[in-house]
């Protein structure tokens, strides 16, 4: 049985969904999922990884791992790869995974398929599909040469399995070598309100230039507030006009998202924006202009004034969700 080493990520004391997705995918493909867990005081999370399907957990702890850094975490992860000798390595294409994975690949001299939306594990071979040109095209990639086959996978692209609360993973403590670290993480500054990132949200409500100003985004915040696991995004036009910071931008020079539901409000649908959200499972467009290109991609379209429709929609969503 091929072994898949999975980089576990957590936030606020909880394992992230992407980690669950990767473990579930490895297990579905007949691999033995082994999780790598690093940090300080994180041993309790090993149990959650077991419930997600990890058979083993490589646990590395120490003060040097209190905050994520590509140097300290990279060093520990490379050690784990050497001891586990996996056929497959998977990380989330998250802020950490994107930063860390190439460092690991360079150190080990192996290839990396980044930001994949599909992975297929056949024995000890990994075949991936990854969007390129921000999703205007898709590339099927394979690995040349020997060594572990390594991919980062976009959050929400794979499905999670059921939790097995009674399952447990065997924990191996790996010693930490914190010598010769060059960079120091001075601080991690949380945003004013701890918000879900658009790349991780299950539902994204986005606004375009038609929002007219930053204050009007409160309408979208209100809509988002009734939808669990949702976040507010923006088009480049809205960001360039100063309505939202760049970290909210969805599109080719912003973030590429693939939520279950994407609600585009007052976004006409420039090719660069469509590239950033076209893989969303269900797309809703609300726009005054019936000719707006966004409607070509929308599963449900409303030609209308977002300032009228959005507040009503917030009320209707409340009703529908309240029925549960």
Under the binding rule (CB under 8 A), the answer on residue 284 touching another protein is: yes
The tokens of 125 are what?
């071979």
| Sole binder of another protein in the list 145, 162, 291, 322 (CB under 8 A) | 145
First CA to last CA across the chain, in angstroms?
43
Under the binding rule (CB under 8 A), the answer on residue 289 touching another protein is: no
CA distance 126 to 141: 9
Residue that the structure tokens 């670290």 belong to:
181
Question: What is the closest distance, in whole angstroms, from the C-beta atom of residue 136 to another protein in the complex?
Answer: 4
| Sole binder of another protein in the list 130, 174, 206, 224 (CB under 8 A) | 130
Under the binding rule (CB under 8 A), the answer on residue 312 touching another protein is: yes
210 phi-psi bin (left φ>0, alpha ψ -120 to 50, beta other): alpha
Under the binding rule (CB under 8 A), the answer on residue 272 touching another protein is: yes
Question: What is the closest distance, in whole angstroms, from the C-beta atom of residue 135 to another protein in the complex?
Answer: 7
Is 240:260 a contact under the CB 8 Å cutoff? Answer: no
Residue that the structure tokens 């230039």 belong to:
209
**φ, ψ (nearest 5 deg) of residue 162:** -75, 145
| Sole binder of another protein in the list 63, 120, 139, 213 (CB under 8 A) | 139
Query: What residues between 214 and 243 interact with another protein by CB under 8 A?
Result: 227, 231
The tokens of 31 are what?
């691999």
**φ, ψ (nearest 5 deg) of residue 24:** -60, -40
The tokens of 262 are what?
């994407």
Q: Of the listed pieces 30-38, 41-49, 58-66, 136-144, which binds another protein according to CB under 8 A?
A: 136-144
Under the binding rule (CB under 8 A), the answer on residue 125 touching another protein is: no
Nearer to another protein, 3 or 149 (CB): 149
Under the binding rule (CB under 8 A), the answer on residue 99 touching another protein is: yes
Question: What is the closest distance, in whole angstroms, from the C-beta atom of residue 30 to another protein in the complex?
Answer: 23
Determine how many CB atoms are found less than 10 A away from the CB of residue 213.
10
Whose CA is closest to 140, among 164, 167, 169, 120? 120
Nearer to another protein, 62 or 102 (CB): 102
CA distance 303 to 167: 50
Residue that the structure tokens 């071979």 belong to:
125
Query: What residues between 291 and 310 interact with another protein by CB under 8 A?
Result: 295-305, 308-309
Q: Of the listed pieces 49-57, 160-168, 206-214, 316-324, which binds another protein according to CB under 8 A?
A: 316-324
Bridge-based pairing of strands 170-173 and 282-287 is unpaired
CA distance 86 to 23: 14
Under the binding rule (CB under 8 A), the answer on residue 1 touching another protein is: no
CA distance 222 to 113: 38
Binding mask 155-184 for another protein (x = CB under 8 A): ---------------------------xxx
| Sole binder of another protein in the list 82, 190, 215, 322 (CB under 8 A) | 190
Overall size of the chain counted in residues: 324
Binding mask 40-79 for another protein (x = CB under 8 A): ---------------------------xxxxx--------
| Sole binder of another protein in the list 26, 217, 278, 292 (CB under 8 A) | 278
Nearer to another protein, 167 or 270 (CB): 270
Under the binding rule (CB under 8 A), the answer on residue 148 touching another protein is: no
Nearer to another protein, 218 or 312 (CB): 312
Whose CA is closest to 273, among 300, 301, 292, 299? 292
């Amino acid at each position: 049985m091929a072994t898949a080493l999975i980089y576990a990520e957590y936030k606020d004391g909880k394992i992230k969904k992407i980690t669950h997705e990767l473990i579930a995918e490895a297990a579905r493909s007949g691999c033995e999922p082994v999780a790598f867990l690093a940090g300080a005081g994180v041993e309790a999370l090993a149990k959650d990884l077991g419930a997600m399907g990890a058979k083993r957990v490589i646990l590395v702890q120490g003060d040097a791992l209190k905050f994520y850094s590509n140097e300290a975490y990279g060093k520990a992860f490379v050690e784990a790869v050497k001891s586990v000798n996996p056929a497959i390595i998977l990380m989330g294409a998250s802020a950490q995974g994107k930063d860390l994975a190439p460092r690991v690949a360079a150190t080990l001299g192996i290839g990396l398929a980044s930001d994949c939306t599909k992975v297929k594990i056949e024995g000890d071979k990994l075949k991936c599909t990854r969007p390129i040109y921000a999703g205007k095209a898709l590339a099927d990639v394979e690995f040349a040469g020997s060594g572990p086959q390594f991919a980062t996978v976009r959050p929400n692209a794979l499905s999670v399995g059921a939790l097995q609360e009674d399952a447990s993973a065997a924990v191996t403590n790996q010693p930490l070598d914190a010598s010769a670290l060059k960079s120091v993480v001075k601080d991690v500054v949380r945003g004013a309100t701890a918000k879900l990132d658009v790349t991780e949200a299950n539902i994204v409500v986005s606004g375009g230039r038609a929002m007219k100003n930053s204050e009007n985004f409160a309408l979208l915040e209100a809509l988002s507030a009734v939808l669990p696991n949702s976040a507010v995004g923006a088009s480049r036009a809205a960001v360039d006009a100063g309505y939202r910071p760049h970290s909210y931008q969805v599109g080719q020079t912003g973030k590429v998202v693939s939520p279950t539901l994407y609600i585009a409000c007052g976004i006409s649908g420039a090719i660069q924006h469509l590239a950033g959200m076209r893989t969303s499972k269900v797309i809703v467009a609300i726009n005054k202009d019936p000719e707006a290109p966004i409607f070509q991609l929308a599963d449900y379209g409303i030609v209308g004034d977002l300032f009228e429709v959005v507040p009503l929609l917030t009320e209707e969503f409340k009703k529908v969700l309240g029925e549960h």
